[in-house]
Every structure is written in C-alpha cells, then in structure tokens.
C-alpha cells in the first residue's frame, strides 16, 4: 500500500506515522527528515538545501523530485510507503502522479483548539530532544528531562499566536491538494480526533480498520 498522510502541525502525524509503520510494515518517507539529513552534509546539495530549509522556504521542485525518486528507489519491492511532507503544492502533487501510484490518502482531522492546547503545553529537552507536555506528559521533576537530566524549553513557535498562523498556512497549502486528489477519486481515510486525551492507539486502530475496508491492510 502506498499512502500519503496529511495532518496539521500538532495533529499527531509523527506519532501515527510511526505506529502505522510498525503495525503495517510500511516505510515512512518524511521529506522534512530527509532534508534535515541532507543539509548536515558538506556537499553542494547539502549547502543548497540548507539555504532553503533554514529560511523556512520550500526546497525547489527539481531537487525535491530527485531526492524523492532516489528515496523511493530504495524501498524493497513489495513494501509500501507512507509519505509525509509531500506533496506540499499542487505542482508537487501532479509530479507525484507521474512517478508512483498512490492508493490512499490518510487525512488527520484535529480541531484547532486541540492543536493549540497541545502545542502550547509542549516542552522539549534542549539536550536530547525528548518531548514532554506540562499537562499530560509531565517530567518527574518540573523543567528537567527524565531521560538525560537536560533542561526543558518551549519552542518559540509553540505560542498560541504563532500556532494559529501555522494552522492557517497548513490549511491554505493542503486544501487545494486534497481537492485535486478527491477529483482524481483516490480513496481517503479520515481520522478524527475529538478530545484532548484521545489515546493514539484508538485512532490508529480506526485508521487500520478503514484501510482494511478498502482492502489495503
Ligand atoms: P515544517 O513543518 O517545519 O515545515 P518539515 O519537517 O515538514 O517541517 O520540513 C522541514 C523543511 O524541509 C521545510 O521547511 C522545507 O524547507 C523542506 N521541505 C519539506 N518538505 C518539502 C517539500 N515537499 N517541498 C519542498 N521543501 C520541503
Ligand atoms: Zn533529555
């Protein structure tokens, strides 16, 4: 099964992706992660990618397509993938159609208030990157990482104002792509998260049930 997953920042996309990866044996292709790896390298490509990612700009399409093709070619035959962070534009969606068949789109639907509540209470370890939450996933000692003892901090873009802006940008980017895929009659699985403390496992179960109905899992 080849799938694309769409979800706003703070929708839990990373959590669901890794569980779907484990339970369905898919390869997760995260464009953001791939670019963060590439920019660490002291190569021509690394430098170029860095200049875009650091400014928060989209990497130009010709590079994105090459990188994606390369990554897709590494997937063992018979194994499916879950694409995260691609496509981000209608152009990218059109290019994708030409290189690979997409069986299903997984769309995470999370109300804005839940995203705001989750992200504004998120705290991250400066040392190891572990993620905490001041309400649901408190560290044993306030402000201190359980795993490594490092200091916890709040990302500067995890404030209500900026979160609202990020959700708006996500919606503006994603709506036209979703419309395009619906017009192409690609099946959608919609995962709804209605409460702040909905266990991720339940939502993953729902997604898998819907995929089974489509005979994709
Ligand atoms: P964010 O949600 O902060 O944009 P991502 O991890 O999805 O985080 O992506 C990080 C960066 O990688 C983006 O800001 C962009 O520069 C680059 N990138 C990711 N996906 C794409 C894509 N599909 N097309 C172009 N650039 C991309
Ligand atoms: Zn830590």
Return the residue whose CA atom lies nearest to atom 7 of ligand 1. Answer: 32
Model confidence over 33-58: pLDDT tens digits?
Answer: 999 999 999 999 999 999 999 998 99
- 209 CA distance to ligand 2 middle (Å): 36
Atom of ligand 1 nearest to the CA of 166: 2
Cα 64 to chain center, whole Å?
16
Question: Residue 31: nearest ligand to its CA?
Answer: 1
- 141 CA distance to ligand 1 middle (Å): 34
State the Cα–Cα distance between residues 96 and 119, nearest whole angstrom: 31
pLDDT value of residue 199? 86
State the Cα–Cα distance between residues 135 and 21, nearest whole angstrom: 28
pTM of this prediction?
Answer: 0.91
Q: Which two tokens stand for residue 88?
A: 């981000």
Q: Which two tokens stand for residue 89?
A: 């534009």
Model confidence over 65-120: pLDDT tens digits?
Answer: 999 999 999 999 989 999 999 999 999 999 999 999 999 999 999 999 999 999 99
- 31 CA distance to ligand 1 middle (Å): 6
Q: Is the pLDDT of residue 200 over 90?
A: no
Ligand 1, pocket residues at CB < 6 Å: 9, 31-32, 35, 52-53, 56-59, 64, 85-86, 88, 92
By annotation, the residues acting in catalysis are 13, 88, 122, 155, 166
């Amino acid at each position: 099964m080849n799938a694309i997953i769409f979800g706003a920042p703070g929708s839990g996309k990373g959590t669901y992706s890794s569980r779907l990866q484990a339970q369905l044996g898919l390869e997760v292709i995260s464009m953001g992660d791939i670019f963060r790896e590439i920019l660490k390298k002291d190569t021509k490509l690394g430098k170029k990618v860095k200049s875009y990612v650091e400014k928060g700009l989209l990497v130009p399409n010709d590079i994105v397509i090459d990188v994606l093709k390369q990554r897709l070619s590494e997937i063992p035959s018979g194994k499916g993938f879950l694409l995260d962070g691609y496509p981000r534009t209608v152009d990218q969606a059109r290019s994708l159609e030409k290189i690979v068949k997409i069986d299903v789109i997984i769309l995470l639907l999370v109300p804005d208030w839940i995203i705001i509540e989750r992200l504004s209470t998120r705290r991250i370890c400066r040392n190891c990157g572990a993620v905490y939450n001041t309400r649901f996933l408190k560290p044993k000692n306030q402000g201190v990482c359980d795993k490594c003892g490092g200091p916890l901090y709040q990302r500067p873009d995890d404030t209500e104002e900026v979160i609202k802006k990020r959700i708006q940008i996500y919606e503006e980017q994603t709506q036209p792509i979703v419309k395009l895929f619906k017009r192409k009659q690609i099946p959608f699985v919609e995962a709804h998260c209605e409460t702040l403390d909905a266990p991720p496992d339940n939502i993953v179960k729902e997604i898998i049930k819907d995929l089974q109905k489509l005979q994709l899992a």
